[in-house]
Amino acid sequence: MVFHCADRAMYLIGPVLITLAATIITGLTWLYFTIILPMLAGTNWIHTQADWEKYWMKEQGENDIERDTSDANSKPISQITSVLLALLTPIGILHTSMVSFFLVNILYNYYYCVTTSNSGPSYDNVVRQLAVVTGFHYPETEEELLQCKRNFERKIYERMQRKRDEVINASRLSEGNANLCATTVSTTRNDGDEESQTISKATTTSKTAAIPLPKIHNWQLLSPIEWGYCRYSSQPKPPRSHYDHITQCLVLNMDHYCPWMFNCVGYFNYRYFFNFLWFVSIALWYGAAICYPAFMLLGGTEYKDQLRASGVFQKPSKGIVVRHLASNPFIPTPSERTPVALGFMICLCLAAAVTGLCGFHLYLVLSAQTTIEFHGNFSKKRNPRWKNPYSTGSWKKNWEMIYGTRNYWSRRCIGEDEQPSRFRSCWTCLMGMMPSNREPEFLPFPIGGTLVRRSHVSQDVESIGLMDSSEGLISSGPEFVMISKPTDGLLVGRSRISAPSII
């Protein structure tokens, strides 16, 4: 009951956080166009038609111009006109181009991370392809599904028995002549997997006490490409998948549930999630940098000189409009102090937090891990012989597992049959981060350290013509190989795959 309430609360807080994120993005965008952009362009001192004319005459090189103080030329210009004037300057065009680039990528990836589903036809298609690649007989009837469940439960029981025997033997060796009284196995729910096994032991000492050992999740008892069974969704559990109790679905390559995304981050939307972190972290540091000059002048002598020049100290402040000084456009007015200070602090604080999270996920991408696997593998890393079974052994290939090798942007600079140089190869990796709603190109994990390209066909996997197993292993050069049955019909990439996805 407690877990259910916590899951529902986490689910309900999602729309609130999405609204908050939209508010922050909208507020920072407004701050840039209305306050920061005129400061950067040096046009925020233009308030009247006379200022407008003086500005253009200065641009034409006519510096000795007397200001016309007639009523017509003293009429204030609109704020939109002031912003458009700032956009016409070279510095305004440069900064606005950068801000627009960040804004488009942030909104695009945020939208698709929120709306991309981890279930449905795409999930079913990938699962069937995984069954073919790993040689798993996917149950089609209720009887086969029941038999799959029984086989899994028997398998887990036997492996837990072996694990128990290992614990008993290790305890006997470590305790010497101590008497091992009891060893029990219990099943408890775990919020990250369908269930976990807890092995505990009680020893007879001067003070009888139970010494609990770490929990062992079911997926930790399986081999890297071995299938399990999910008792929450009542369906076969592919390798690297976990059941999400909040969205109530089985997620391939589940990383975590993100309340800011109102969605679970997994195989189909992890690329959007990482792109969002990447562009948000860069954009926030960029925002903090362009707000910094104005933030440092909030209460200095220049700020007081600007107030004095506007006549605030000589006349009643009510009705007085504080104007920017043409000599230093970064000095904010009293009405701009709060937005500038708040915007700078938001950019700086969020940049530090998001950059740390982005750096962690960059490590996960390059090492071919999810957050769940990172915590599960933490203790294994102490063994010098341990190797991540889902890593291809190359950070570039691990990157391609998420971003693929074929996208519109990379094809524009590298031909299909052209072998890319190191520079172009890095450029292709970066181009893979540009906006695109393509599905993942490779299957969720490699086979034998080799990426397996998905078959992009509309038919079911059963309709794909598989080669006869008697043909064995067929080599097609250094760029790709064809694996014999049960992985026939799928191309496996070793370096750069330039062949069609299906033969």
Q: What is the pLDDT of residue 78?
A: 75
- Which of 104-108, 157-161, 218-222 is predicted with the least confidence, judged by mean pLDDT? 218-222
Give yes or no for residue 345 having a pLDDT over 50: yes
Q: List, for residues 80-108, the tens digit of each pLDDT value.
A: 888 888 898 899 999 999 999 999 999 99
Q: What's the predicted TM-score (pTM) here?
A: 0.80
Q: What is the pLDDT of residue 159?
A: 84
Q: Are 254 and 270 in contact (CB under 8 A)?
A: no
Span 466-494, mean pLDDT?
Answer: 34
Q: What is the pLDDT of residue 315?
A: 59
The two three-digit tokens of residue 199, written as one number = 């092995």
Give yes or no for residue 189 having a pLDDT over 80: no
- Bigger pLDDT: 488 vs 450: 450
Q: What is the pLDDT of residue 40?
A: 92
Q: What is the pLDDT of residue 61?
A: 61
486 cis-preceded (ω within 30 degrees of 0) = yes
Q: What is the pLDDT of residue 383?
A: 67
Q: What is the pLDDT of residue 180?
A: 45
Span 478-486, mean pLDDT?
Answer: 33
Give yes or no for residue 463 having a pLDDT over 80: no
- Bigger pLDDT: 437 vs 203: 437
DSSP letters of 68-110? Answer: P-STTTTSBPPHHHHHHHHHTSHHHHHHHHHHHHHHHHHHHHH
Give yes or no for residue 364 having a pLDDT over 90: yes
Give yes or no for residue 441 having a pLDDT over 80: yes
Give yes or no for residue 64 having a pLDDT over 70: no
Give yes or no for residue 48 having a pLDDT over 80: no
443 residue type, one letter: L
Q: What is the pLDDT of residue 211?
A: 44
Span 398-423, mean pLDDT?
Answer: 64
Of the chain, the percentage scoring pLDDT greater than 90 comes to: 37
CA-to-CA separations, 311 to 42, 316, 321, in angstroms, rounded: 22, 9, 9
CA distance 358 to 500: 34
- Which of 121-125, 168-172, 478-482 is predicted with the least confidence, judged by mean pLDDT? 478-482
Give yes or no for residue 58 having a pLDDT over 80: no
Q: Is the dihedral of CA 306, 308, 309, 310 positive or negative?
A: positive
Span 377-400, mean pLDDT?
Answer: 81
30 membership: H or E segment, kind and range: helix 2-31
- Which of 218-232, 292-306, 432-446, 461-475 is predicted with the least confidence, judged by mean pLDDT? 461-475
Average pLDDT taken over every residue of the chain: 77
CA distance 295 to 276: 27
Specify burial of residue 209 (Cβ count, 10 A radius: 0-12, 13-18, 19+): exposed
Span 233-238, mean pLDDT?
Answer: 92
The two three-digit tokens of residue 22, written as one number = 């939209």
CA distance 469 to 489: 11
- Which of 253-257, 413-417, 493-497 is predicted with the least confidence, judged by mean pLDDT? 493-497
Span 210-219, mean pLDDT?
Answer: 58
Span 360-389, mean pLDDT?
Answer: 84
Q: What is the pLDDT of residue 461?
A: 38
Answer left, alpha or beta for residue 135, where phi above 0 means left and psi between -120 and 50 means alpha.
Answer: left
Per-residue pLDDT band at 304 (split at 50, 70, 90):
confident
**Angle at alpha carbon of residue 59, lines to 55 and 64, rounded to 5°:** 70
Q: What is the pLDDT of residue 283?
A: 97
β-bridge pairing 256-258 and 249-252: unpaired
Q: What is the pLDDT of residue 305?
A: 82
Span 237-265, mean pLDDT?
Answer: 93
Give yes or no for residue 379 having a pLDDT over 70: no
Token match 């019909």: residue? 489
Per-residue pLDDT band at 495 (split at 50, 70, 90):
very low
Q: What is the pLDDT of residue 75?
A: 72
- Which of 58-62, 148-152, 278-282, 401-405 is predicted with the least confidence, judged by mean pLDDT? 58-62
Per-residue pLDDT band at 384 (split at 50, 70, 90):
low
Q: What is the pLDDT of residue 5?
A: 82
Q: List, for residues 251-264, the tens digit of each pLDDT value.
A: 999 999 999 999 99
* Bridge partners of residue 76, in order along the sequence: 48
- Bigger pLDDT: 405 vs 465: 405
Span 416-439, mean pLDDT?
Answer: 70
